[in-house]
Amino acid sequence: MDQEQRSQIRVTIIGLGYVGTSIGLALKATALPVRVVGHDREPERVREAMRQGAIDESHWNVPRSVEGADLVVVALPLTEIAATFRHIAENLRPNAVVVDTTSVKVPVMRWAREHLPAHVHFVGGHPIVRDVRVGQAHARADLFRDEIFALCPAPDVTAEAVKLVTDMVTAMGARPLFLDAIEHDSMVAAVEHLPQLLALALRQTVMGESSWRDMRKLAGSQFEATTYLSEEEPAAVVAQLMANRERVLQWLDMLQQRLRWLQAQLAVAQDQERLTEVVQPVFKERAAWLTAAVTKNWDTTDASVPPISFTDWLFGQRWTSLRRQRKSS
């Protein structure tokens, strides 16, 4: 190994899908002296990641791929995390740092304690991706720019390990947000897993009807937005919901109370003005959230920026226009 190789930060990315390939592209676009090794069970994904320049080399054997790595990024579905930890455990060097990218942290933190050796450090990770396009073909270096990257360090992790992950996140242009794993999963249950459950319920309710073949002709952007799932693999969606079910059920109870209240208001149908007054604040709050998501300003709402509709945010038309305006200003 020459001097240049010894001075490089060696990063292994396990899982070269949309997120894993984007992480590789983001790291290669930085000024960090990083060498990226990639592994994926699908040879075509490895070839595509190499073609895009997301990785410098690859290894077909997952345990061998992590040998000598300073940082190991496990960008796999939740269902594959525990087994992967077991497979790579013996090949991780002392003081190596492992980070994952799943949306559920409590079980992943437990698996890290159970399967990773004591001389390895684990930091739970969750990049917030707002691009609705998925698939390796849409991977890009700026996917995480100005976006939140939640980090949940294990209780016994060293400051040096946290710094390595934080440096990686900030180098990719993301904003690290440190959270306790339980706190993270409770929040995600509300803003990611509960919407998934609602989308599934609406799909089953409407698409299961015999009249769906006719109804689908009238289904527009509202139905598309409400039934949208960031993950279209049924097993992956169910695994996330089951892994975080305690917190999802708490939020579901609150939602059911709200639905029953709305049902009662519709059944009475006496005070339309009052109902409008009650729901109006959440219209404003949602507009403020979408504006903050576009402007990347989570501290205050910029009144000079007009509210963003979900459709514009979903398809990127006005989002792209606003970002260009802000860059030129």
In a domain, 2, yes or no: no
Q: Say if residue 153 is in the same domain as residue 237.
A: no
Q: Say if residue 247 is in the same domain as residue 312.
A: no
Q: Which two tokens stand for residue 199?
A: 């989308």
Contact yes or no for 188/182 (Cβ under 8 A): no
Q: Say if residue 82 is in the same domain as residue 113.
A: yes
Q: How far apart are CA 178 and CA 125, in angstroms?
A: 9
In a domain, 16, yes or no: yes
Q: How far apart are CA 275 and CA 266, in angstroms?
A: 9
| CATH value at residue 237 | 1.10.3660.10
Where does a domain end: 249, 267, 285?
267
Q: How far apart are CA 81 and CA 184, in angstroms?
A: 18
Tokens 């527009």 sit at which residue? Answer: 220
Q: At what angle do helices 234-243 and 245-268 cross, to 10 degrees?
A: 100
Q: Say if residue 119 is in the same domain as residue 255.
A: no
Q: How far apart are CA 234 and CA 255, in angstroms?
A: 23
Q: Say if residue 325 is in the same domain as residue 277.
A: yes
Reported pTM: 0.85
What residues in the chain have per-residue pLDDT under 50? 1-5, 303-305, 308-324, 326-329
Question: Which residues partner with 73 through β-bridges?
Answer: 13, 99
Angle, alpha carbons 305-309-313 (nearest 5°) = 90
Q: Say if residue 319 is in the same domain as residue 257.
A: no
Tokens 């060696």 sit at which residue? Answer: 10
Q: Which residue range is the domain that position 159 belongs to?
A: 9-179
Where does a domain end: 179, 197, 218?
179
In a domain, 284, yes or no: yes
pLDDT digits (tens, 9 = 90+) for 146-193: 999 999 999 999 999 999 999 999 999 999 999 999 999 999 999 999
Q: Which two tokens stand for residue 51?
A: 């073609």
Whole-number Cα distances in Å, 153 to 129, 158, 166, 180: 20, 9, 11, 8
Q: Say if residue 131 is in the same domain as residue 14.
A: yes
Largest CA distance in the chain: 79
Instruction: Return the pLDDT at 300.
Output: 64
| CATH value at residue 150 | 3.40.50.720
For 205, residues 6+ apart whose C-beta sits below 8 A from its C-beta are none
Contact yes or no for 130/159 (Cβ under 8 A): no
Instruction: Return the pLDDT at 2.
Output: 43
Instruction: Return the pLDDT at 121.
Output: 97
Instruction: Return the pLDDT at 301.
Output: 52
Q: Say if residue 21 is in the same domain as residue 95.
A: yes
In a domain, 4, yes or no: no
Our CA dihedral for 98, 104, 107, 110, rounded to 10 degrees, sits at 30
Nearest to 121 by CA among 70, 169, 61, 64: 70
Contact yes or no for 104/185 (Cβ under 8 A): yes
Q: Say if residue 163 is in the same domain as residue 94.
A: yes
Q: Say if residue 201 is in the same domain as residue 224.
A: yes
Where does a domain end: 245, 267, 289?
267
Domain count, the chain: 3
One DSSP character per residue, 214-263 reads: HHGGG--HHHHHHT--S---HHHHHHHHHHTHHHHHHHHHHHHHHHHHHH
How many other CB atoms sit within 10 Å of the CB of residue 72? 28
Q: Say if residue 290 is in the same domain as residue 174.
A: no
Q: Say if residue 205 is in the same domain as residue 329.
A: no
